[in-house]
Amino acid sequence: MALTPGTKLGPYEILSPLGAGGMGEVYRARDTRLDRTVAIKILPSHLSSNAELNARFEREARAVSSLNHPHICHLYDVGTQDGTAFLVMEYLDGETLADRVRKGPMPLKQALEYGIQIAQALVIAHRAGILHRDLKPQNVMLTASGAKLLDFGLAKTAPALGISSAVSGMTPSTPTMTIAELSSPAQPLTRQGTVVGTFQYMAPETLQACEADERSDIFSLGCVLYEMVTGRRAFDGKSQLSVMTGILEKDPEPVSQIAPAAPAALDHLVKSCLEKNPQERIQTAQDVKLQLKWIAEGGGLSAKVFAAPKRPWLWWAVAGMALLVTAGTTAAYMREASRPDPVMRMSILPPEGTSFVITVPASGPAVISPDGTRVAFTTRDTKGKIQLYVRTLSSLTPQALSGTEDAMYPFWSADSHDIGFFAVGKLKRISANGGPVQIVCDATNGRGGAWNKDGVILFTPSAQGPMLRVPANGGKPEPASKLDESHAENSHRWPRFLPDQKHFLFWGRNASGTQQQDLYVGELGSLQATLIMQGVTTASYDSGYLLFMREQTLLAQPFDAKRMELSGEATPIAEHVAVNGATAVPEFSTSENGILVYQTGEANGAWDLLWFGRDGKPGGAVAQQDRWYYPALSPEPRLSGTSHRVCSLVPGTPPKFPTCSGGSGF
């Protein structure tokens, strides 16, 4: 019902109408007790007349009133009069975000500032266990003091992530619209008697009648960020049905294609907020806020300096100083045209109380998933426990994968769903989301693997010998390469599949005095290989370029993946990239969509070889610092009756003690 000026609702006197929407009418009013201006929202009859809904709404409104934050419009009071339920809120002087974006895209700095404030408001609400459920530009007021999130009228208590409605005790919102209603012109207003919220900003799980949680608000926040920067809705159409279809099945045009000045970091963040599957979406408003602050402070705003032909590369450089666990980032350039493209830089630190394992033979350099969304890496804790972790680039929290103790050299499946790794003499696999570990086959001392779209795994089972192939579901390994004995080759390792999923790059090492290192291309079904270049270890292919290392410089050179030919000159991409001196594997990885992950620093360090008594006390150094591996006691006792002769291999030199045999540690 419409209220006229002078009408009183308890101590509140109506002054003038402010607006109306699908969930009610809003008026400017005066609190006669405190002599202050307030905003009053009259709830529609379909809410006010339902005793159960009205009681629940009142309980939840009281909960929302406890939210006290500079960027949340405060709810002062809730009441009823003559059967009319109403909310009393802080009166805000300004314009809605919806009114602002109708004028066009916002300046980037301003959009980031408001985005941070809205995200912070959601952080406070979610920490209080409250969902907004109707976040949209109409419910954000821009004032002199910044953005204010308002209209928590649809708010509800948030269930725990992943808890179903049956468990949480909450009732799912069920769509009741008919096809005729869905085909009517789309309006950015909440429809009465339908799913609560506004279709253009509603998460897919809400449209599908699933229980909402805080990730549903994050999807809506992604829609709002998209609209602020581009001036367009992320999902729009001529009818509610077309909008709903877009949300459920389509991805919006990337932010950077509409607003070229937007950094790639923001593009990635918005995309992560708009993931259809809540599990793949950025998980918390706190993460969104932190990433927005990082972008606003300059992260990702520098000019891009590497672009591949036909499409730009997005370099997301993830760097960690080897062993020191400090972070740094870098990028270098190639250019397709005169206009530079944006680059996004990010650093990843290991989980608290751990360090990255990037040196010694049993290590696990960070590897990016083919789809560029997650990084897998191994860490060692203070007790020496080594474990495999996965971190989504849209989250700040890595996930430990149970059952992956002593994992080394992880590699991704082509679909980015699973991870292969070596541990305890076996080649194993595990879902990137966690779960039981499966043994694929024996691999005594693995040296790298690759997993193609046909479910074939290439791997090197030990420090010496050729590569093998095996079905990802397990089976008997078969030869995949043949050592060239005429060149004294003793190891093929670090395979990487090329786009056709049949040819693959790998590194060959010989045991001659020069320790020659060669890069080859092999093919499934053939033991023959083609020499590509000499003097390098492993390489990766991306967008027409071969990425490889010389010394500690990462280079890119044009490569025809059909003709298997290099052309042009190599261009530096990054400096001081770490190389594991124990196994000659460089610490970098690339995805299919141009994301580069690498670690900086020196991984060629030396360390002490020390004696320890049975009581655990140190007994002095055995020898000077060097790269010592696999120490072992000699069976030859001294006069004292003890055994303490040590055998250890240093790459490129004979064993330290001639009485020892071996040499497989490298």
Angstrom distance (rounded) from CA 124 to CA 135: 14
Single-letter code of the amino acid located at 307? A
pLDDT at 144 over 90: no
Q: What is the mean pLDDT of residues 287-294?
A: 86
Mind listing the domains of the chain with CATH numbers? 8-90 (3.30.200.20), 95-296 (1.10.510.10), 608-666 (no CATH)
Average model confidence (pLDDT) across the chain: 76
pLDDT at 637 over 70: no
pLDDT at 304 over 60: no
CA angle, corner 613, sides to 425 and 619, nearest 5?
110
Q: What angle do the packed helices 264-273 and 285-296 form, to 10 degrees?
A: 170
Rg, the chain, Cα only = 30
End-to-end CA distance of the chain: 81
Chain CA centroid to CA 456, Å: 26
pTM: 0.49
Beta bridge partners of 392: 374
If you ran DSSP here, which 8-state letter would residue 419 be given? E
Q: What angle do the packed helices 285-296 and 108-127 form, to 10 degrees?
A: 160
Model confidence pLDDT, tens digit, residues 241-272? 778 887 888 888 888 788 877 777 788 888 88
* Range in 48-57, 216-225, 318-327, 372-381 with the lowest mean pLDDT: 318-327
If you ran DSSP here, which 8-state letter would residue 454 be given? T
Angstrom distance (rounded) from CA 374 to CA 395: 9
Structure tokens at 308: 């591949």
Single-letter code of the amino acid located at 9? L
Label the pairing between strands 316-319 and 344-347. parallel
Catalytic residues: 134
pLDDT of residue 85: 78
Helices (H) and strands (E) in the chain, counts: 12, 43
pLDDT at 640 over 70: no
Label the pairing between strands 468-471 and 553-560. unpaired
pLDDT of residue 88: 86
For 372: left if phi > 0, alpha if psi spans -120 to 50, otherwise beta; the answer is left
More confident site: 122 or 318: 122
Angstrom distance (rounded) from CA 132 to CA 217: 7
Share of the chain above pLDDT 70, in %: 73
> What is the CB neighbour count within 10 angstroms for residue 613?
8
- Please, which pLDDT band fits residue 49 given cuts at 50, 70 and 90? low
Angstrom distance (rounded) from CA 646 to CA 658: 10
The pair phi, psi for residue 167, each rounded to 5°, is -80, -40
Indicate the Cα dihedral angle 28, 83, 24, 121, nearest 10°: 70
